[in-house]
């Protein structure tokens, strides 16, 4: 079955991320970004891309053997609430959002920014199903949800 462990979520996430990276950046009907701010947007975009990479890699490292590409937790998974997981419940998704947002700002693609937003909304939806499974697996997860933000530290 394609979705028993959330495989369809991974496929859709991959397609959306590919759209962010390789999709059309804008169309003629949408005004261009301010030309005079190109250096600013490039710098801000690169900072977000680097932050996203660092957050994603560190979060994967924090998960250790519990890391899986699927939203369904591994049978031998442990609940990780330390490292970056102390600040946000889904730091890999946080990193992916930063990457997508950074890329859209770096390339100054209005459509790319829209794709990044759609990806962020999708990761929120994906995390909802993942959290249902995490609550079923870990008795401590509901308390962790109450004390730790979901996707963006200090914000959401």
Reported as a single tens digit per residue, the pLDDT across 52-77 is 999 999 999 999 999 999 999 999 99
Q: Which two tokens stand for residue 53?
A: 């990479």
Please report which helix (H) or strand (E) contains residue 7, including its range: helix 7-22
- The contacts of residue 31 (CB under 8 Å, 6+ apart) are 110
Kindly report the number of other CB atoms within 10 A of residue 85's CB atom: 18
For residue 107, give Cα distances in angstroms to 2, 20, 39, 55, 145: 34, 10, 11, 21, 35
Q: How far apart are CA 124 and CA 110, in angstroms?
A: 21
Nearest partner of 78 among 66, 68, 86, judged by Cα: 66
Please report which helix (H) or strand (E) contains residue 139, including its range: none
Nearest partner of 16 among 152, 124, 108, 153, judged by Cα: 124
Nearest partner of 80 among 49, 53, 58, judged by Cα: 58
pLDDT digits (tens, 9 = 90+) for 83-98: 999 999 999 999 999 9
- pLDDT of 1 over the 70 cut: no
CA 4 to chain centre: 21
Q: What is the pTM of this model?
A: 0.93
Q: 38-147: which CATH topology?
A: 1.20.120
Q: Which two tokens stand for residue 120?
A: 């962020």
CA 59 to chain centre: 11
DSSP H stretches of helix in the chain = 7-22, 38-63, 91-107, 110-137, 141-147
pLDDT digits (tens, 9 = 90+) for 101-156: 999 999 999 999 999 999 999 999 999 999 999 999 999 999 999 999 999 998 99
Nearest partner of 96 among 60, 68, 129, judged by Cα: 60
């Amino acid at each position: 079955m394609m979705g028993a462990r959330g495989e369809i979520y991974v496929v859709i996430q991959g397609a959306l991320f590919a759209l962010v990276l390789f999709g059309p950046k804008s169309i003629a009907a949408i005004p261009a970004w301010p030309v005079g701010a190109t250096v600013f947007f490039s710098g801000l975009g690169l900072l977000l891309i680097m932050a996203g990479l660092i957050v994603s890699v560190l979060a994967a490292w924090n998960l250790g053997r519990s890391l899986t590409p699927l939203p369904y937790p591994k049978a031998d998974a442990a609940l990780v609430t330390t490292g970056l997981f102390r600040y946000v419940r889904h730091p890999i998704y946080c990193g992916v959002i930063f990457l997508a947002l950074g890329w859209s700002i770096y390339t100054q693609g209005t459509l790319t920014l829209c794709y990044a937003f759609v990806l962020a909304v999708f990761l929120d939806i994906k995390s909802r199903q993942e959290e249902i499974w995490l609550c079923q697996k870990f008795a401590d997860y509901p308390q962790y949800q109450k004390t730790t933000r979901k996707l963006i530290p200090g914000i959401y």
